[in-house]
Amino acid sequence: MDKDERRLSDALILGTALAAGALALAVNIPAVQEIFASRSRKKLAGLPDYPAYQKGQRVLMVSPHPDDETLATGAQISQAVRNGAEVYIAWMTNGDGFVLDSLIAERTDKPKGDLELGRTRMKEGQKAGATLGVGSEHQRFLGFPDGSLKKVWEAGLQDGDKVVESSATHATAVPYEGTLHPQQPYTANNFRQDITELLDDIKPDFVLLPAIHDMHPDHHATNLFWTQVLRERGELKKARYWLIHGGLEWPLPKGLLPHFPLLVSPRGKKMAWQQFEVQQEDQLNKLQAVFAHETQVDMLLNFMLSFCRANELVALED
């Protein structure tokens, strides 16, 4: 690439970034929001309604990190519990892979380390789950490495028993008490065995999974592992899909707008979505659960509040 081509490329990248920034600012102006909301509801009008879970049904929410359970399906979980359904939450990681999070969580420029963050976020997940109505007896933590689930998947393609080191904690086995199998090595086979154990134990009618289109590598890998096991068991029809990292600046507008609809994300446009109508009581429970994730709220408040909307989106196929 010569100098002129490089300048043109840099100009295009800068122009795209500026345009995205301008859109993000404009869409948060109240008058623009009203226009945007009206058009958004029209876009969603053709989507089928997703029914609430009912008494007698067993629901398993698969959450890559503590906070995903709340952002993606908090209102569904809350209403399912109110309706008498049995709801379980299984966290794949303890969310220990964000160094900046450690600095904020421990309020010091010399944090003790990511394991301390993992223990903190585990407690936050437990609190959020309880806020949504899911007690400790229905909560499961696997303790696999945050930020390295894709490495576990890729290592397993060559050797299912190859041990992977966490890029954040440098642990090679589950370092947390209170997890499904403490001190279990980080291997693809162990991860699949944990999934099988959860399915055998809980016997869910519905399994709520991150969509394959989610930008986050941990979400992507979680989908790959779970759909593989469900497919092998002939249970893939139990899967329901959600999406959090759906594209640049999504969701818009940012912030707490409880009457505004959550729109289909750029990365989810090809998925056949249904929309779950959020009741006020469940919306309040979801909002309270968001604030249970204190370490994340400190950094990502507007992003997290952007999921406290009038609906949640669910897809029956990925």
Q: What is the mean pLDDT of each run of 10 residues along the chain (318 residues)?
A: 60 55 58 63 86 98 98 98 98 85 48 79 98 98 98 98 96 98 98 98 98 97 98 98 95 93 95 97 98 95 97 96
CATH class of 47-315: alpha beta
pLDDT of residue 183: 98
| Segment 23-71, tens digit of pLDDT | 555 555 666 666 666 666 777 888 999 999 999 999 999 999 999 999 9
| Segment 272-310, tens digit of pLDDT | 999 999 999 999 999 999 999 999 999 999 999 999 999
pLDDT of residue 177: 98
The DSSP line for the chain is: --HHHHHHHHHHHHHHHHHHHHHHHHTTSHHHHHHHHHHHHHHHTTSPBPPPP-TT-EEEEEESSTTHHHHHHHHHHHHHHHTT-EEEEEEEE-S---HHHHHHHTTSSS---HHHHHHHHHHHHHHHHHHTT--GGGEEEEEEPTT-HHHHHHHHHH-TT-----TTT--SB---TTSSSTT-B--HHHHHHHHHHHHHHH--SEEEEE-TT-SSHHHHHHHHHHHHHHHHTT-GGGEEEE-S--STT-SSS-S--TTSPPPPPGGGTTS-EEEEEPPHHHHHHHHHHHHH-HHHHHHHHHHHHTT-SSEEEEES--
pLDDT of residue 248: 87
pLDDT of residue 6: 63
For the chain, the domains span 47-315
pLDDT of residue 192: 98
